[in-house]
Amino acid sequence: MNSETQYEDSVSTLMLENIKNKLINAFRDSGQHAAASCSTNDSCNLVAKDIQANEELRRAKIDGAITWLRTELLEMRSQDRQLAKTLLDLNTEIQRLRQENESSSPDKKPKAVTNNNDLETPFHGSELQ
């Protein structure tokens, strides 16, 4: 793994972790708001358990989404590398063909026609006589 790839991996990991933390905090804030509205001790326990279960479910969904994003990013990176390799191969082939073309025809200038008899002229109706 080269340093550029390691850098990209660390940047994407940091970005995904940041997104994860923002989502967890957003869901945690909504759960705390619901817990603050309970009236009795038993209902608070039920609400707290429900909030905890919902938070665990949300975390699992977030982790699954982040795993999916990582997989997609890795696939995109693989496709990007494959495309770059294809483009480099095409460039190499174009350069090879150019060199081959230049070596097979050293005189690049088109030949000028000096003899008018070599030129074909179209026949016109009046010239056939």
Yes or no: say if 50 and 31 are a contact pair by the CB < 8 Å rule: no
pLDDT per residue over 12-42, tens digit each? 778 788 887 777 777 666 555 555 555 566 7
Dig out the tokens for 54 from the structure.
């919902």
12, 27, 17: which is closest to 58 by C-alpha? 27
21, 58, 55, 20: which is closest to 35 by C-alpha? 55
Given pLDDT bands bounded at 50, 70 and 90, which one contains residue 123?
A: very low
Residue with tokens 């977030």: 62
pLDDT per residue over 88-114, tens digit each? 999 999 999 999 999 987 665 555 555
Dig out the tokens for 1 from the structure.
């793994």
The mean pLDDT value of the chain amounts to 77
pLDDT surpassing 50 at residue 129: no
Dig out the tokens for 35 from the structure.
């817990």
Q: Which amino acid is at 36?
A: A
Task: Give the span between the Cα atoms of 59 and 20, in whole angstroms.
Answer: 8
Task: Give the span between the Cα atoms of 10 and 49, in whole angstroms.
Answer: 36
- To the question of pTM greater than 0.85 for the whole model, the response is no
Yes or no: say if 24 and 59 are a contact pair by the CB < 8 Å rule: yes
Handedness of CA 18, 24, 27, 31 (dihedral sign): negative
